[in-house]
Structure 1
Amino acid sequence: MNKSSKIFVAGHNGLVGSAIVRCLKDKGYNNLVLKSHNELDLINQKDVDSFFIKEKPEYVFLAAAKVGGIYANEIYPADFIYENLMIESNVIKAAHDNKIRKLLFLGSTCIYPKFANQPIKENELLSGELEETNEAYAIAKIAGLEMCRFFKRQYGDNFISCMPTNLYGPNDNFDLNTSHVMPALIRKIHEAKVNNKKEVEVWGTGKPLREFLHVDDMADGCVFLMNNYDGEQHVNIGTGEEISIKNLALLIKKIVGYDGDIVFDSKMKDGTPRKVCDVNKLNELGWKYNIKLHNGIDNVYRWYIESTKK
């Protein structure tokens, strides 16, 4: 990409998209096309087609998606599969029809099988059954990355895909009913501190192992791939490091400065037992993460406190 290239970031108001916008601006890219949901409904094929014909972006970061944690995925599976399939199908097809230079599709490591070999290599895709708690979302994301692969194979379109691990950062969703584990824990523990509660309840046993990547690192990795990778296979973006949910909760407790107890409700589902990416492919291309977990959580907690004051 040139600094003046016309770049469309789909989903620029979300956790992922806003980080990509920050990263692009920091690197001097100044010709960004940004549309809110009210301005452009990506589920509407006619609107998406009209947008591409009018704006003619050269590069597309497809970060728009309907996302949520275990609770949201279990309650709204039809919404998750429909909305995500429509968004990616409309944008990828319009990008092809309008002959854009390159598209990067962002998936999620939840696309991998529940009991995939660890650390998870890119070729583990479709090698086993999916985790049932986010199956609808995962199927939609798998369809998106396969669309990119098949459009590249049939038409030669330069469409690539990356699979970020569990992300956290500014602009995350802190709604306790729909958020992922990191923001949910930050909010629960912070509110317990403010309200002098003696304990915080966490769903599950605390035993599952997870990998967390700060969204600003993820964005930097995406821009790196857009400029340095043209392969057919998707690429994992992560740290290659893991932490148990229990230890994550204890780390957040320390950062927040909460003195109460963390208790675990083992009647609630844990989700996938272990999920950590093999990031050798991306490392060999020349990229590695920068923000350590403790520093990243401290950064997000400060952002959360400021956002609640507004």
Structure 2
Amino acid sequence: MNKDAKIYIAGHKGMVGSAIWRSLSAKGYQNLIGSTSKELDLREQQDVRDYMAQEKPDVIIDAAAKVGGILANNNFPYQFLMENMQIQNNLIDAALKTNVEKFIFLGSSCIYPKFAPQPLKEDYLLTDSLEPTNEWYAIAKIAGVKACQSIRKQFDKDYVSLMPTNLYGTHDNFDLNSSHVLPAMIRKFHEAKENGQTPVTLWGSGTPMREFLFVDDMADAVVFALENRLPDYLYNIGTGKDLTIKDLAETIAKIVGHTGEIIWDSEKPDGTPRKLMDVSKMHDLGWKHQIELEQGIEKTYKWFTENINDVKKVTI
């Protein structure tokens, strides 16, 4: 990939998009472009078409999405389905119509069936029913994967989909009404510590197993996909290692310094029992994660405390 290539990063201000921007900049890519939601509403088809026709990027990286945890997915199913389809479909279609040769689509491990064999292989897509608590987001992302696959098949363009496991890291969302489990735990344990080591109540039983990938590793995977023409249309991105939510909570509590009680609210849903990614396809091509979980949590907590007054929707 030419270092002068014009690369549009959708969602460049978010956790994933900003990490991709930093990674590309560090590798010498200078011609990076992005747009805030105020500058360009990706849900508006004609606006996206006009923008791409004017800017004419060589590459589009789609890191834009409406995201959230179980609570947000349950409360806003229509928005999670429709807005994600609007965003990705507008970008993919505009890319095709403006002859963008390379498109990298980012999804989520939730595209795979709820009770698929573990670890999750790319071949398990559409083999069974989804997890009900996030099926709206999953269906949208599956549509994006299939759109890119169809363009790859019909027009022979280098459109590829990367499905990350649970991502976390600097610039994450720490709003307790919409955040994912790991940043929510960081905030809860921090506030409990600041309030005199008060008890922390967490959702579910603590028994589900989850895999977590530091966002800088995800960004490196995107750069890898950018600089190589991957032979297939779909790749899992993760560590290939998981742990129970209970173990995650204890790890975060230790790093944060919370010594109070942890209470599990078993009346709340657990979600999928396990979501471990099979990342052998990416490993075989030469990509592997570099940052282990404890190191990543330490980096994230350090960033959280340093930016606590600036992080959106975080009030202590």
Q: Map 1:136-175 to 2 at 5 A.
A: 136-175=136-175
Q: How far did 1:232 drift?
A: 3.8
8 Å Cα contact 2:158/2:229 also seen in 1: no
- Give, in whole Å, the separation in 1 of the partners of 2:209 and 2:177: 22
- Give, in whole Å, the separation in 2 of the partners of 1:159 and 1:87: 16
- Give, in whole Å, the separation in 1 of the partners of 2:136 and 2:215: 23
- Give, in whole Å, the separation in 2 of the partners of 1:232 and 1:281: 9
Is the aligned partner of 1:193 residue 2:189?
no
- Give, in whole Å, the separation in 2 of the partners of 1:245 and 1:108: 19
- Give, in whole Å, the separation in 2 of the partners of 1:222 and 1:295: 21
- Give, in whole Å, the separation in 2 of the partners of 1:78 and 1:100: 30
- Secondary structure, in 3 states, of the residue corresponding to 1:231? coil
* 1:107-134 deviation per Cα after TM superposition (whole angstroms, max 9, x unaligned): 1001000001101010011111100000
**1:234 paired residue number:** 234
Structure 1 gaps of 5+ residues are: none
* Further displaced range: 220-229 or 6-15: 220-229
Q: How far did 1:225 drift?
A: 1.3
8 Å Cα contact 1:160/1:231 also seen in 2: no
- Give, in whole Å, the separation in 2 of the partners of 1:116 and 1:18: 32
Q: How far did 1:151 drift?
A: 1.1
- Give, in whole Å, the separation in 1 of the partners of 2:230 and 2:93: 18
Q: Map 1:97-112 to 2 at 5 A.
A: 97-112=97-112
Q: How far did 1:158 drift?
A: 1.6
Q: How far did 1:302 drift?
A: 0.6
- Give, in whole Å, the separation in 2 of the partners of 1:135 and 1:32: 33
Amino acid at match of 1:115: F
**1:182 paired residue number:** 182
Amino acid at match of 1:126: L
Q: How far did 1:79 drift?
A: 0.3
* 1:130-189 deviation per Cα after TM superposition (whole angstroms, max 9, x unaligned): 000000000000000100000111122221111000000111110101100000000000
**2:42 paired residue number:** 42
Question: What is the TM-score of this pair, normalised by structure 2?
Answer: 0.97
Q: How far did 1:216 drift?
A: 0.2
- Give, in whole Å, the separation in 2 of the partners of 1:309 and 1:37: 23
- Give, in whole Å, the separation in 2 of the partners of 1:303 and 1:129: 38
Amino acid at match of 1:65: A
- Give, in whole Å, the separation in 2 of the partners of 1:128 and 1:261: 39
**2:221 paired residue number:** 221
8 Å Cα contact 2:81/2:136 also seen in 1: yes
Is the aligned partner of 1:283 residue 2:286?
no
- Give, in whole Å, the separation in 2 of the partners of 1:58 and 1:101: 7
CA shift in 2, pair 1:227/1:218, >3 Å? same
* 1:259-300 deviation per Cα after TM superposition (whole angstroms, max 9, x unaligned): 101110001000000011000000000010000100100000
Amino acid at match of 2:102: K
* 1:170-220 deviation per Cα after TM superposition (whole angstroms, max 9, x unaligned): 111101011000000000000000001431000000000000000000000
- Secondary structure, in 3 states, of the residue corresponding to 1:174? coil
**1:261 paired residue number:** 261
* 1:1-43 deviation per Cα after TM superposition (whole angstroms, max 9, x unaligned): 2111100000001111111001101111010011111111110
- Secondary structure, in 3 states, of the residue corresponding to 2:307? helix
- Give, in whole Å, the separation in 2 of the partners of 1:17 and 1:84: 16
8 Å Cα contact 1:152/1:232 also seen in 2: no
- Give, in whole Å, the separation in 1 of the partners of 2:229 and 2:123: 17
**2:5 paired residue number:** 5
Amino acid at match of 1:202: L
RMSD, matched Cα:
0.8
- Give, in whole Å, the separation in 1 of the partners of 2:228 and 2:264: 44
8 Å Cα contact 2:159/2:233 also seen in 1: no
Question: What is the TM-score of this pair, normalised by structure 1?
Answer: 0.99
* Further displaced range: 74-83 or 147-156: 147-156
Amino acid at match of 1:82: M
- Give, in whole Å, the separation in 1 of the partners of 2:304 and 2:198: 22
- Give, in whole Å, the separation in 1 of the partners of 2:118 and 2:190: 33
Q: Map 1:18-167 to 2 at 5 A.
A: 18-167=18-167
- Give, in whole Å, the separation in 1 of the partners of 2:233 and 2:96: 18
